[in-house]
Amino acid sequence: MLNKAFNESLSNKLIASTNPGKVLKYSAKLDSSLATGVYYIQAWDADDVPAGATVVTNTNSVFAPVEVAHTNGTATILDVDLTGPEGEAGLYFKDGFVLALSTTEFSYTAGTNHMAAVALWEAH
């Protein structure tokens, strides 16, 4: 069964699932009021964001951080589709699926509450 999770307000994270599953698609929008800079969308295999400075690894992340260059005054949108042509793909997670806005690439440094996100996933 396909599940959808989304932020109800701007945040620095989206807890999409706290159970095992497979992520199929996600989208993150950085609000136009966010300061100009380079930010990273991290995908944690966890039930919440990790402690600050936690290093991204193959065991605690669903995939590598995605770099997003943002300019103040405009919204920046990142859409990622992990399905194949027949919808058979996706990436598995074992503990949960959390998207996080970070100011550093390979360690978690919480960004400010300027992200709206949505994730589509299947339970397993």
Query: What does pTM read for this prediction?
Result: 0.94
Q: Where are the domains of the chain?
A: 2-123
Cα–Cα distance, 23 to 83 (Å, whole number):
9
Q: What rounded mean pLDDT belongs to the chain?
A: 95
Give 53-96 pLDDT, tens digit per residue.
999 999 999 999 999 999 999 999 999 999 877 767 899 999 99
User: What is the average pLDDT across 101-121?
Assistant: 97
Which stretches of 1-124 are DSSP H helices?
Answer: none
Locate tokens 């999770």: which residue? 5
Q: Which residue would you say has higher pLDDT here, 88 or 25?
A: 25
pLDDT at 74 (0 to 100):
98
CATH topology classification for 2-123: Jelly Rolls (2.60.120)
Q: Supply the DSSP symbol for 38.
A: E
Q: Which two tokens stand for residue 13?
A: 């994270």
Q: Which residues contact 85 (CB under 8 A, 6 or more apart)?
A: none
